[in-house]
Structure 1
Amino acid sequence: MFRGAVAVVVLGLLGWSDGFRLGRTQQFGFLPPPKVAVGTSLPPDQWFTQTLDHFNPTDTRTWKQRYFTNATFYKPGGPVFLQINGEGPANPQWMVEGAWISYAKRLNAYLLSLEHRYYGKSLPTEDASTENLIYLSSEQALADLAIFTVSMRKSLGLNKNKWIVFGGSYSGSLAAWYRLKYPHLVHGAVATSAPILAQVNFKEYLEVVKASLATWGEECNSMVYEANRELHLLLQHRVGWQTITQQFRLCEPLDGTNQLDVANLFSVLAGNIEEVVQYNLDNRAFEGVKGTNITIDTVCSVLTNTTLGSPYARYAALNSMFLDVQGEKCLDYTYKSMVDQMQATSWENNTDVGGRTWIYQTCTEFGFYQSSDSSDQPFGNEFPLDFFTRQCQDIFGTKFTTALLNYGVKRTNSIYGGHNLKVTRVVFPNGSIDPWHALGVTTNISSSAPAIFINGTAHCANMYPASPSDLPQLTAAREQIFRLITQWLHQKDV
């Protein structure tokens, strides 16, 4: 049984994410939860007294950080599995479902999960104002993990057990970096779909989207290219603006001279396809999430359906399909609306404060801007790098310059090593469909830090529960990860 009281989960349709920006869904962050059966008991919220600023010994302020435990599978001497959470709410459904649960059952592991500061319910400051976000960084998050680990070792009597950490996407990066920076606390790490290299201009993202669409057929990319070309031509005159406003169901009339609105519109429309590609066939159907049947096949079938009219008309039809799935009457595309949403600092009644905090991390540490600057992609060139970098200043203030961003990214790679990080007992699973693999580890660093490149799978697919429809290589990857963990547990701490 779980230690402490339990809550009973009641599942309904969670809905397709209300927004997809910088590769992140609004509702869940980078890692939507798995589905659990109705009536399944979930562990309750627990609270850990955490230090606000780990790097100022004179600052003794603390706050409450949310975590979960599950001792159902534990037997004395078994390992401790710690799930690291990233830029979204920690979800207790992961405490009872997912590939790591099957590993825990087989290895008698004790399960812990720690929510990332500034996301979900783990709110260290009274609001998300720019001055209060100075305590938000990957370094502070890793120090949170260290303090939490030391405390749990003592309070739960797990000091002699070997700890293995798990993470996916940004939290996968944290898993690798935790093993790198605190090797005395963590014995091994599974860093799934982890962007290890910080990079301001992540133009390769759309290149991988193109390659992933090409797995359906080159015609799909051709139609995306033609649709964006026609859309660009319509922008050249006012009648075209009216046509775009009507056919793409825009909430406000389009002004084709407003370059920021135009850039945001092209970026949002590309984001529809980006989200489908990033999470294509990754077992999100387990979540019961409305819209998870929308796959690359769905998108390309619409874009190549000549009965819908020109490629531009098909692109509009695809946009309408997404709006209908989301339950939205119109597309809120304006740059001002997006910035206004990101400027909201209250934790109360804010549906996407996590979007603000994640953008802050991109502006200060990572970049990761999925620009249209590459010529090897079909989405046009309407949302270049400077469209993203100016958002840092417009959202957080004038001091958040491109120079500051470049320094922050350089500093991140200096601290962690970028693609040259030196770690042992870390495995890096990535999917070939997932655009984030372009910043990840896809070839072995060493025999003790192997990569698992899973052909045909998407973002964090190996973390989800197994399905009869899984590709054989995905099933093999999950088993390879289990074998690695088992080997690590027989190795001495180093």
Structure 2
Amino acid sequence: MRAVSPVRIQTLSAYPSGRFKDLVTAMRFRFPSEMRAWQIIAKVIEYSRKQRMGPFLLFFMVFMLRNVESMMNSYFATPSVALLMQKHKPKTIPPGYKAHYFPQVIDHFNHHPQGSKVFYQKYLMNKKYWHKGAPIFVYTGNEGHIDSFAQNTGFLLDIAPKFHALIVFIEHRFYGESMPFGNKSYNSVKYLGYMNTGQALADFAFLITSLKQNLSSEASPVVVFGGSHGGSLAAWFRLKYPHIAIGALASSAPILQFITPPDSFDAAVSKDYKDVSLNCYNVIRGCWDELDSYSNNTHSLLELTDTFKSCKIVGSTYYVGSWLNAAFIYTAMANYPTKANLLKPLPAYPVQEMCKIIDEYPKGASKLNRAFAAASLYYNYSGTQTCFDLEDESYIEGIRGWDWQTCTEMIIPLSSSKESMLKKYSYNYTLHAEACKRRYGVTPRPYQMTTEYGGIGIEKVLKRFGSNIIFSSGMQDPWSRGSVLKNISASIVALVTEKGAHHLDLRAATNEDPDWLIMQRKQEVEIMQKWIDEYYEDYKQA
């Protein structure tokens, strides 16, 4: 498919465009998600015969099916740092941890034969500093392989000696090695139906309870931790299972993103760059018009291939835009004050470094060229790349799982703002729902999460109901706009830092950490110490 020349594609596009659009869209969503590529192609051939299509039109349809698939994946996907971590990092267990597997029930809420079967849920454990009766710190795993989260969450290991804590990282069902139906787990909606937040939280509850019993340490207090979606899970776990966890540290937890203005994420990304340099912001904002001036013909695509140092001939301006957009978004999320390698190796304050590249670029250069130079910092800070794969569609472990979640309960509407520097886009629930229906046969439930865990007016509810939750956020992180940014009560507190980024506080401490980050972590430790002291005092009096 990739060998099709731009000339041939342009020739084929002479067919009526409306027919192509309707035909390809209808064909793509007529196939169940379980079908293999050869089955889809067979269906295309059968359909082409009925429609009396010529061979070139048939060939173009198969080509388009491949591209529609990738574009629909990007449409469904809410930016997920966790999934990109799986793609760019080796999955190795960090030193000091040992992998274990817990026999977990597939369905915690219904009693039927299939749901009563068990699967083996992976969790990591570090007992180096622990003694019986001491606290247990649990990371509530989110959308990815648990090894990656343990590698990037050094805070728990840093504070474990002070508390003599046992550290446990639990993998989320349907991710990593924790597949309820093995290699078939993503093959059918009858399996995917067991993948939801309620089941995942119940997994954590049963595993933690069983672990405490097996360790003969039922009296050990449990504090849950999580970052990003894992942070939301930690907060929800504390609300749902207060008898199991005495408190939660929810870092960069966008529990209110479901009801936050859709353009808030985009506006936050743009603000990060605009605060550094107005010129930088304007250059990135203006590069999209320059990109749109290119057409998908041979000359334009070859020119873009050269400009963006693509390893292969660029097949569409769509891929160039997506490549640029991803660089600016993920750099904002990982705008850490020290060198880091969350997704890719990046310098300290990478947004500032990107803008420095743009501002110091030779005069007379196009905005698109300057945007490319800045984006190259994200993709090639290490200097090892000789070319870029702009159409990288390599498999990201877990993408089908997150796609399912965004089609069922994790309905997070995102759109661009009026002042956005990013490529303009809008959210359309109707189109999203129709696509999910065709893809999985399900209709998204946009109010599922807010009905189960709260949303509008949550501060009034939690003020009287909840307790012992730390919501930590960094305003450099675009997801911060969907988190809790003000104290709700004396024990549900928001620790907000102006220069913090995506769950920065959960990363391991370094010698280069700024004072404000050191202070934030110190506050978190002091609050958790208070929870634990109160727990032991109450336990003695019981």
TM range (shorter): 0.7 to 0.9
- SS, match of residue 366 in structure 1: coil
- SS, match of residue 441 in structure 1: coil
Residue of 297, 301, 304 corresponding to 1:244: 304
Which residue does the alignment assign to 1:224?
284
The answer to whether 1:270 aligns with 2:322 is no
- SS, match of residue 450 in structure 1: strand
| Contact kept in structure 1, 2:85 and 2:343, CA below 8 Å | no
Which residue does the alignment assign to 1:360?
404
Deviation (angstroms), 1:51: 0.7
Which residue does the alignment assign to 1:120?
176
- SS, match of residue 45 in structure 1: strand
Whole-Å separation in 1 of the counterparts to 2:91 and 2:525: 19
Residue of 425, 431, 438 corresponding to 1:397: 438
Task: Give the TM-score normalised by structure 1.
Answer: 0.81
Whole-Å separation in 2 of the counterparts to 1:389 and 1:331: 33
Residue of 387, 408, 412 corresponding to 1:329: 387
- Give the AA of the match of 1:65: Q
Which ranges in structure 2 are unaligned for 5 or more consecutive residues? 1-73
| Contact kept in structure 2, 1:242 and 1:254, CA below 8 Å | no
Whole-Å separation in 1 of the counterparts to 2:90 and 2:246: 26
- Give the AA of the match of 1:164: V
Alignment CA distance shift 1:194-1:473 (3 Å): same
Whole-Å separation in 2 of the counterparts to 1:482 and 1:238: 59
Deviation (angstroms), 1:130: 3.9
Deviation (angstroms), 1:84: 1.1
Which residue does the alignment assign to 2:27?
none
Residue of 187, 194, 208 corresponding to 1:129: 187
Whole-Å separation in 2 of the counterparts to 1:32 and 1:449: 34
| Contact kept in structure 2, 1:87 and 1:170, CA below 8 Å | yes
Deviation (angstroms), 1:302: 2.1
Residue of 356, 372, 379 corresponding to 1:301: 356
- SS, match of residue 368 in structure 1: coil
Alignment CA distance shift 1:355-1:390 (3 Å): farther
CA shift digits 1:223-247 (9 cap, x unpaired): 1112122222334987545533442
Deviation (angstroms), 1:376: 2.1
- SS, match of residue 285 in structure 1: coil
Which residue does the alignment assign to 2:420?
377
Bigger Cα displacement from structure 2, 93-102 vs 83-92: 93-102
| Contact kept in structure 2, 1:35 and 1:286, CA below 8 Å | no
**Aligned residues: percent identity?**
25
Residue of 212, 229, 232 corresponding to 1:173: 232
Residue of 413, 438, 455 corresponding to 2:450: 413
Residue of 486, 490, 494 corresponding to 2:529: 486
| Contact kept in structure 2, 1:82 and 1:112, CA below 8 Å | yes
Whole-Å separation in 2 of the counterparts to 1:479 and 1:472: 10
Deviation (angstroms), 1:472: 1.7
The answer to whether 1:28 aligns with 2:85 is yes
| Contact kept in structure 2, 1:248 and 1:320, CA below 8 Å | no
Residue of 107, 111, 128 corresponding to 1:53: 107
The answer to whether 1:140 aligns with 2:224 is no
| Contact kept in structure 1, 2:87 and 2:396, CA below 8 Å | no
* RMSD of equivalent CA atoms: 3.4
Whole-Å separation in 2 of the counterparts to 1:224 and 1:288: 22
Whole-Å separation in 1 of the counterparts to 2:437 and 2:78: 17
- SS, match of residue 74 in structure 1: coil
Whole-Å separation in 2 of the counterparts to 1:33 and 1:253: 28
Task: Give the TM-score normalised by structure 2.
Answer: 0.74
Deviation (angstroms), 1:290: 3.5
Bigger Cα displacement from structure 2, 460-469 vs 168-177: 460-469
Deviation (angstroms), 1:100: 1.9
Deviation (angstroms), 1:252: 4.5
Deviation (angstroms), 1:428: 0.3
- SS, match of residue 120 in structure 2: strand
- SS, match of residue 534 in structure 2: coil
How many residues align structurally? Answer: 446
Whole-Å separation in 2 of the counterparts to 1:488 and 1:153: 19
Bigger helix share: 2
Asked which structure has the greater CA Rg, the reply is 2
